[in-house]
């Protein structure tokens, strides 16, 4: 898989600002094109859109997606794709929902109705769980349809639940020079990954091993 290191608005926590799946990617409005929208397209191999959510550039905090759909806390359209608005007290869905095209792992605090909405939006079965004892499963893992890179303090039982939920093998690791919140450090699809500029070569290798499996 292709891997690139970048900054968004000078920040290496790319996963807070963008999302990617096998159909499209989203970056915040006003992202400096001189830093290379074309580079994102080359690495991810999908159409790229620029827009904000709630007038905020923190797109990755508010959206969770896979190639079948996406869920947001507000009515949102991305190109030809229309997301499902979640009727729940939670808004930072990117932090609380982890998904690929096979399944989703969601925070335990979602209501039964919200869990059904997430399943309907992403067209997958949802499983409740934690990673490293934390509800912010989207912040603690990067996953595609080939594998998952997970917070290094994830427990064996949590990894087993995650692997069963997403249908992939998981490996623990860090990004951005030791950050365990790998989901906040970048975004991925099956073609590639864009991660924070602080990510070290050994972390890139670990990411490639985890997500490049076929």
* Domains within the chain, CATH numbers bracketed: 2-211 (3.75.10.10)
Q: How confident is the model at residue 214 (pLDDT cuts 50, 70, 90)?
A: very low
pLDDT at 32: 63
pLDDT at 31: 78
pLDDT at 45: 95
Instruction: Record the pTM.
Output: 0.95
Over 60: is that where the pLDDT of 35 sits?
A: no
State the DSSP string of the chain.
Answer: -EEEEE-BTTBS-GGGT-EE-SSEEEE-TT--GGGTHHHHHHHH-SEEEE--BTTBS-HHHH-EEETTEEEESS--EETTEEPEEP-SS---HHHHEEE-SSEEEE-TTS-HHHHHHHHHHHTSEEEE--BTTBS-TTTSEEE-SS-EEE-TT--HHHHHHHHHHHTS-EEE--BTTTBS-GGGTEEE-SSEEEEETT--HHHHHHHHHHH---
Report the percentage of the chain scoring pLDDT > 90. 88
pLDDT at 57: 95
């Amino acid at each position: 898989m292709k891997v690139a290191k970048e900054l968004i608005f000078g920040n290496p926590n790319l996963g807070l600002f963008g999302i990617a799946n096998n159909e499209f990617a989203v970056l915040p409005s006003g992202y400096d094109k001189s830093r290379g929208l074309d580079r994102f397209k080359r690495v991810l191999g999908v159409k790229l859109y620029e827009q904000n959510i709630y007038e905020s550039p923190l797109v990755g905090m508010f959206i969770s997606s896979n190639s079948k759909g996406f869920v947001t806390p507000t009515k949102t359209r991305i190109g030809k794709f229309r997301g499902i608005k979640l009727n729940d007290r939670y808004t930072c869905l990117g932090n609380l929902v982890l998904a690929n095209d096979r399944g989703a792992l969601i925070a335990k605090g979602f209501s039964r109705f919200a869990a059904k909405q997430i399943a309907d939006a992403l067209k997958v079965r949802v499983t409740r769980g934690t990673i490293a004892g934390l509800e912010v499963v989207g912040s603690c893992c990067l996953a595609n349809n080939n594998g998952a890179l997970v917070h290094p303090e994830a427990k064996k039982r949590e990894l087993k639940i995650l692997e069963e939920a997403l249908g992939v093998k998981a490996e623990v690791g860090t990004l951005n020079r030791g950050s365990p919140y790998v989901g906040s450090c970048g975004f991925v699809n099956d073609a590639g990954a864009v991660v924070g500029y602080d990510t070290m070569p050994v972390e890139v290798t670990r990411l490639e091993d985890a997500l490049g499996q076929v």
